[in-house]
């Protein structure tokens, strides 16, 4: 089973490979990061780690269990404040359809309550991103009445209240 790990400096090469290999796949449902992201990846990675050290964000990667350190997904908690955070995630194209995103989000629930003292998660997905919307629904997120524009595309907001026994399982 792949392992959810807190982002650290050593993840940089595998994370860059993950982003490059899946760029076109991601761009089909979320806005493209742009060439500058890849050109300045090392500085951006260092900045994310510095931001994470402040407690304002918690970044995670899903690492394959084959021992090679390949990254299969990213699961980020951003804008952490007052017991709440925004969840964002992306999964490699070759890792979709196996329940890995659902399992990783459920693992995050435990970290949220036991390590990060979070009680509420917010998320958003474009209407065309049915895979992300399905993960959110399966893990107990409920749609809000909020209509969103995400990179120019219509989207929906979600919220999930957490408890010490949150697992997202029904």
What string of H, E and C letters represents the secondary structure of 144-164? Answer: EEEEEEECCEEEEEEEEECCC
* Each residue's pLDDT tens digit, 34-47: 899 999 999 999 99
Residue 27 has pLDDT above 90, yes or no: no
For 151, phi then psi, to 5°, come to 50, 40
Nearest to 39 by CA among 61, 55, 16: 16
Please name the residues in contact with 143: beta carbons below 8 A apart, sequence gap of 6 or more.
156, 157, 158
Domains of the chain: 3-161 (3.40.630.30)
Distance, first Cα to last Cα, the chain: 21
pLDDT(170) > 50 = no
Residue 22 backbone class (left: φ over 0; alpha: ψ -120 to 50; beta: rest): alpha
Residue recorded with tokens 């995400």 = 150
Percentage, residues of the chain above pLDDT 70: 96
DSSP state for residue 28 in the 8-state scheme: T
Bridge-partner residues for 58, per DSSP?
A: 77
Mean pLDDT for the stretch of residues 112-133: 95
């Amino acid at each position: 089973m792949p392992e959810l790990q807190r982002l650290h400096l050593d993840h940089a090469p595998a994370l860059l490979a993950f982003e490059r290999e899946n760029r076109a796949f991601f761009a089909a449902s979320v806005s493209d990061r742009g060439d500058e992201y890849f050109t300045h990846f090392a500085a951006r990675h260092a900045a994310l780690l510095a931001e994470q050290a402040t407690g304002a964000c918690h970044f995670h990667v899903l690492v394959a269990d084959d021992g090679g350190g390949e990254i299969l997904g990213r699961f980020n908690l951003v804008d952490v404040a007052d017991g709440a955070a925004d969840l964002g995630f992306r999964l490699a194209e070759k890792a979709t359809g196996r329940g890995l995103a659902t399992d990783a989000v459920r693992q995050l629930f435990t970290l949220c309550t036991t390590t990060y003292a979070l009680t509420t998660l917010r998320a958003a997905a474009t209407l065309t991103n049915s895979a992300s919307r399905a993960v959110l629904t399966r893990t107990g997120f409920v749609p809000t009445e909020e209509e969103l524009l995400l990179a120019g595309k219509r989207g929906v907001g979600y919220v999930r209240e957490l408890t010490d026994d949150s697992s997202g399982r029904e």
